[in-house]
Structures are given as C-alpha cells and as structure tokens.
Structure 1
Amino acid sequence: MVLNSIEKLLEKYENGETTLKEEQQLKNYFSQETVAPHLEMYKPMFAYFSVNQQEQFTKTLPLKTKKVNHYKWIAVAAVAVFMLGYYFKTPVVSAYEEYAYGTYNNPEEALNEVTKSLAMISGHLNTGVATVNYLGEVNKGTKTIGYLNEIENATSIIFKK
C-alpha cells in the first residue's frame, strides 16, 4: 500500500504537481535504507536534495562599492599639461611682433578701416536678406493651398452623406 502511494507521488512529482508536504514524504521514503528495487534510481536524486538543503552560503557580500577617486588622475594630467605648455611655450612678445601685420599706429586710420569693413559686410548681408524676402510670397501661396484643402474636406463630407 505504501509502495503504491510512493509510485503515485513519484508520478505527480515528475509532472510537477506535488506539494511541499508530498515532496517531503518522498524525501523521507528515499532516505531510508530499504527502498523498492525498481525505485533505486530515484534514491541518489532525493539524497542530493536533502544534502543540498543543508548547504549554507558563508561568504560575505560587499553591499557598498568602493568609490574610485579619479581626481588624483585629473590632477596628474593637469600637471602634465602645464609642464608641456611651459616646455613648448613660445615668447609671446616676439611672436606678436613678428606676425603683427595690418596694425595701425593712428587710431583714426584704424576706425576708418573698420568702418569700411563693416559697411562691406553689411552690404553683402543686405543682399542676402533681400533674396530671402521672396519666402514671404511662398508662404502666401501655401496659405491658399490650405484653403483648398478645407474646401476639399467640406465636399468630401457632403458627398459621403
């Protein structure tokens, strides 16, 4: 009678339909010394489950991660940049004097040249703006197309009813 119930429980176990209480009955049965010969193949599996149930995890888990301080490396990189800049620097005064083309000694001459340059830039800018004014006409044309779409919507409503 006990063997019949164990076989039924094994069938339910294989189908995944057992409860925890029924699984405990199977573990108890297969932990005994005497098991039916045709059920011997299940004994190592249930022995493993009972041994595995007693295992415990003993290692500690770090819950906080260590913060890596990158500011040290940023400081090292900044010092390296400053060192390279100091090593490869060129004298500012001599480089300025060597390449100082187009400078004026008289402030009035400099003002006149700047005024000429700004007038030239303004003239070119105004011609560019004049060509863009035609876009206003394009906008008027798109508005009339919008009115045509409204008329088309109204006629489609009328003819569908």
Structure 2
Amino acid sequence: MNTIDNILDNYFEGTTLPEEESRLKEYFRGNAVLPRHEIYKPLFAAFDKEKQIAAPVFEIPAEKNRKKPFPIRKSWIAAASIAAVTLLLVTLVPFKNKTGTPSGDYTVFIHGKAITNPKKARQYADKMFMQADEIIRTSYEPVVEANAIQTEMDPGRIFDDLSREINHMQSINQ
C-alpha cells in the first residue's frame, strides 16, 4: 500500500498520470481501503457521483436566433452611416462666425465676443497673464515665508544652544 500513498501524494500535487488516477479510483471503490485512507474515500465517491450527473441540454430555437441579429444589425449600420455623414459635414464645411464669413487666422473669442485684431488679442492675453502671475506670486508668498522660517530654525544651532544651557545649569548646580 506504499504505492497508494505515493500515488495519493502525487494526486494532491497534481502530478499523477491518468493510469494512476484510475488505480486510485478503483482502490477507493473497493472494500480493501486501509483505515489511514478512509478519510479520502468520500472525496473519491463524490467524484464518481459527479460523473453520473448530466447537465440538462438546452437548445436555442433557430428561428429566434436568426431573426434578432438582423434588425439590430440594420440599426447599427444606420447609426454608423449617420455618424459618418455628420463627421464628414463637420470636417469638410468650413467654420463660419456670426457674420457668416469664414474665420481668419487671428480670431479669438473672449467672453463670447470674436476678436479678429491680433494686436487687441495680444493685449488682452498679456493682461490676463499679468493677472495670473500676480495670483501665483501672492499665493506663493506663504511658501517663501515658511522656507525662511525653516532656515532660521537651524536644528544644529538650536541643539548647540540647548547643550550650552544644560551645561551652564549643571555647572551652577555643582
């Protein structure tokens, strides 16, 4: 029965051959199962019962299967065609502003107004950049102040000062 032990070890490691698995099944179906192998008998009995269970056969009727995809397919083709035509119209028809003339190279929209003068657009952009720079600078000031405080709080200097104080107190107490 030492071979059964080896086959069981291999079985639980997943390295048995089909012939060895058949031998195990036959062994556990029989009445000569050793007491130390009795714990595995229900496992192999369950495997045998599972083989006997057959899943119900379910067939999809052919008529329903053939009729459904066809209308769905037509609607997908129609939707794809509409999307393609819309995309072509959007890309091929030039954009026109409110006056009906095609937009030039220097059209900028600010608060809903079209500005075609490059000089005015540049002035407005410079003004906006200056405001943004001011916002960034003022919001960065606390960080600069915190860095200055951090450099003032030199840990080496603080430690040296504390050491001197402690030494001074110890010398007074002695």
TM-score bracket, normalised by the shorter chain, equals 0.3 to 0.5
Larger Rg: 1
- TM-score relative to the length of structure 2: 0.37
